[in-house]
Amino acid sequence: MEKTKRIIQKTVDWFRVHKVPLPWRESRDPYRIWISEVMLQQTRIETVIPYYQRFLEELPTVFDLAACEEEKLLKLWEGLGYYSRARNLKKCAEVLCAQCKGEFPQEAEQLEKLPGIGAYTAGAIASIAFGKRAPAVDGNVLRVMTRLFADKSDIALSKTREKIAAQLKEAYPEGAAAGDFTQGIMEIGETKCIPNGVPLCPSCPLAEECETRRQKLWEEIPYKSPKKERRIEEKTVFLLQCGEKYAIEKRADSGLLASLFGFPMADGHCSEASAREQLCRAGFAVQSIAPCGSAKHIFTHVEWHMIGFWAQVETPLPCYLWKTAPEILESVALPSAFRAFRKIIQKNG
């Protein structure tokens, strides 16, 4: 407990002097903090900044988000990936507007009851916006804390996360220091106790407290049990062109990229002949067909290995939506899985 208190104090002192200015640090508005925290999950800070600014220009309040059309929301999110995050934001905003007059609850336990808000995000909002004693334990915090205590627990397990949250909660500060510690320890994880490569211990404000540094255990800690290998799925993507328009479809409402728009796809890698045959069977009169490249997209547990065919067809069958390249580029939120094929239509108009 004494050591944890010292770690907290040193982190707060360091953060107040060294914090990097970021747009979401200019405000204690829980809405802005929430949006930034959700965007920052699985996405790098430099990537998030322009998205964050554009999002708040378009949707400056929780009421604007609750009332936003899904298509517009997904377009604002296009390129950030993990679209369920955007949908959950909207769901949560609707609940806040309907049940809480648009006000965020201040306690982490209450925030966690809202749709899409987990323990980490609840802790971040409660501590940064409301100065509550609420730990927010992400991968950075796990790495720094296990290293400080030379703790060899498996950081892939939720019980390790819970143990560290409980340890921090006992000593967590209140008021402005709560938010400064939450952000400071994450920043130490991002800039000093880095995830890949040798940690920058000589400039780390917590070096004196660190058992891993003392025992030179950097390679062993944090310990993470090996991940299961990702499943590889082969796919064939069809760029179907009829005149100036291309076919897109809304994907099924479950599974990967659920309910998002995409180009038509088939399972497996088709040969040119079988791609033509599939299109003919679907009712298309194919004027020409040719391979148009390949791409790979990595999801959490699955990899898509895609090849593409570009086909000119005679009639725009109604099983798909038909849009010009500018319409697709400007108003359809295409997941980044289709980036390589989107580039092709962008280049060819």
**DSSP H helical ranges for 19-156:** 30-40, 45-58, 62-67, 70-77, 84-100, 108-111, 119-130, 139-148
According to DSSP, the β-strands at 321-324 and 261-262 are unpaired
Comparison of 197 and 318: residue with beta carbon closer to ligand SF4: 197
Q: Is 206 in the site for ligand SF4 (CB under 6 A)?
A: yes
Stretch that binds ligand SF4, among 132-140, 205-213, 223-231, 339-347 (CB under 6 A): 205-213
Stretch that binds ligand SF4, among 42-50, 95-103, 193-201, 270-278 (CB under 6 A): 193-201
What are the distances in angstroms from CA 11 to CA 22, 190, 225, 289? 18, 13, 29, 61
According to DSSP, the β-strands at 231-242 and 302-313 are parallel
Comparison of 90 and 213: residue with beta carbon closer to ligand SF4: 213
Stretch that binds ligand SF4, among 6-14, 22-30, 143-151, 307-315 (CB under 6 A): 143-151
Least distance to ligand SF4, CB of residue 234, Å: 41
β-partners of residue 291 are: 309
Single out the residue of 56, 66, 74, 144 in contact with ligand SF4 (rule: CB under 6 A): 144
Least distance to ligand SF4, CB of residue 144, Å: 5
Least distance to ligand SF4, CB of residue 217, Å: 9
Peptide bond preceding 115 in cis form (omega within 30 of 0): no
Least distance to ligand SF4, CB of residue 108, Å: 25
Cβ-based burial of 101 (10 A; exposed 0-12, middle 13-18, buried ≥19): exposed
Comparison of 112 and 151: residue with beta carbon closer to ligand SF4: 151
Q: Is 142 in the site for ligand SF4 (CB under 6 A)?
A: no
Q: Is 10 in the site for ligand SF4 (CB under 6 A)?
A: no
Single out the residue of 140, 146, 212, 236 in contact with ligand SF4 (rule: CB under 6 A): 212
Rounded Cα distance between 344 and 349, Å, is 8
Which of 137, 190, 170, 169 lies closest to 15, judged by CA? Answer: 190
Q: Is 204 in the site for ligand SF4 (CB under 6 A)?
A: yes
Stretch that binds ligand SF4, among 144-152, 162-170, 179-187, 304-312 (CB under 6 A): 144-152
Single-letter code of the amino acid located at 293:
G
Rounded Cα distance between 237 and 291, Å, is 10
57 is catalytic: no
Quick one: DSSP state of residue 127? H
Comparison of 97 and 201: residue with beta carbon closer to ligand SF4: 201
Comparison of 147 and 161: residue with beta carbon closer to ligand SF4: 147
Quick one: DSSP state of residue 254? S
Q: Which of 37, 78, 112, 187 is labelled catalytic?
A: 37
The sign one gets for the Cα dihedral 300, 68, 259, 296 is negative
Residues that bind ligand SF4 (CB under 6 A): 144, 147-148, 192-193, 199-201, 204, 206-207, 210, 212-213
Catalytic residues: 37
